[in-house]
Amino acid sequence: MIWNLGSINADNFYLLPHLPGPGETISARNFRQGLGGKGANMSVAAARAGTRVMHVGALGADGGWALERLLEYGVETAHITLMEGVTGHANIAVDLEGENNIVIFPGTNHEITDEMIGAALSEASSGDWLLMQNETNGQRFAARTAKTLGLRLAYAAAPFDADAVTAILEQIDLLVLNEVEAAQLRAATGGELRQLPIDDIVVTLGAGGCEWVSNKAHLVESFPAYQVDAVDTTGAGDTFTGYLLAGLDRGMTMPQAIDLAMRAGALMVTRHGTADVIPDLKEIRDHDFR
Ligand code: ADP
């Protein structure tokens, strides 16, 4: 089972004739509210991959719809706390050419208490996974608690913050990074990924596939991506990570889980949207990958 200490955001999409300049007011032509946040995306991906996932997080009083949507998508929500305050959100302005600008407010994603995390993880079993990204508070406490309880820790270092990742480096079993984050981590630690005290590191490379650095087996292996016609790469990394961990949780080997995650990531980039359009296992099985 996966315990995901993760962000939940409302993605507010505004379609505009052009992006506003300083002082300009523009009326949007269309509005759509989607479920997003790296945490929620990964929970939905793991659930659609057919594994049990308990999301640990927080929503404001305005976030009841997000809770219902997560439930509908098969995510367990008993440890999502509804509290005073504003649900995390991203206001995404998109112009007719597809260019965008984005304002993010973390809101209740940064109001998670150690008590909430402790109460959730006290129900976990040794051998379960704790998954985290860098869009909530409470990561250090959660990492320490997870290790005390015998959980495995997976971390997606996004958005990248050198202090956040180095503070829990010793506790991480599986680290997932994209190409940019991997370069930032190398710069921050002054070395090679092979020298880090982490068993497995997976670096995603977009249309270039991914690379697995196994410090346990002392090997580095490259996996080419499945070829698709990409229309929107939003959420590809989150989908990949959710599927990767679900595969491992269900007993797959790392190469098997990577293959599944790459199929999910490839299918995801053929669609517009985030959590709401993450493919399920059946769609992946039915798709004719070239
Ligand atoms: P992020 O969104 O975190 O930057 P990536 O862009 O590296 O993550 O994408 C994650 C994974 O999704 C890749 O490793 C790959 O398997 C798949 N993927 C992403 N973009 C494409 C693409 N254009 N074609 C095929 N697969 C893709």
For residue 226, give the ligand 1 atom closest to its CA.
Answer: 25
Note the pLDDT of residue 290. Answer: 76
In a domain, 23, yes or no: no
Note the pLDDT of residue 123. Answer: 98
Binding residues for K(+): 232, 234, 268, 271, 273
In a domain, 98, yes or no: yes
Q: Which domain CATH number covers 49?
A: 3.40.1190.20
Q: Is the CB of 58 under 6 A from ligand 1?
A: no
Among 173, 200, 238, 259, the one annotated catalytic: 238
In a domain, 273, yes or no: yes
Q: Catalytic residue at 238?
A: yes
Domain ranges, residue 82: 2-15+30-286
Q: Is the CB of 118 under 6 A from ligand 1?
A: no
pLDDT below 70 — which residues of the chain? none
**What strand order describes the sheet that includes 129-133?**
76-83, 53-60, 2-5, 129-133, 152-156, 174-178, 200-204, 210-214, 219-223
pLDDT per residue as tens digits for the range 212-230: 999 999 999 999 999 999 9
In a domain, 25, yes or no: no
Q: Is the CB of 204 under 6 A from ligand 1?
A: yes
In a domain, 20, yes or no: no
**Residue nearest to ligand 1 atom 13, measured at CA:** 206
In a domain, 148, yes or no: yes
Query: How many angstroms separate the first and last alpha carbons of the chain?
Result: 32
pLDDT per residue as tens digits for the range 172-213: 999 999 999 999 999 999 989 999 999 999 999 999 999 999
C-alpha R_g of the chain: 18
Enumerate the H helices of the chain as residue ranges: 38-48, 64-72, 114-121, 139-148, 162-168, 179-189, 236-249, 254-268, 281-286
What residue type is 244 in one-letter code? L
In a domain, 22, yes or no: no
Binding residues: 9-11, 37-41, 135, 178, 204-209, 232, 234, 237-238, 268, 271, 273
Q: In whole angstroms, give the CA distance from residue 86 to residue 66.
A: 13
pLDDT per residue as tens digits for the range 6-28: 999 999 999 999 999 999 999 99
Domains in the chain, number: 1
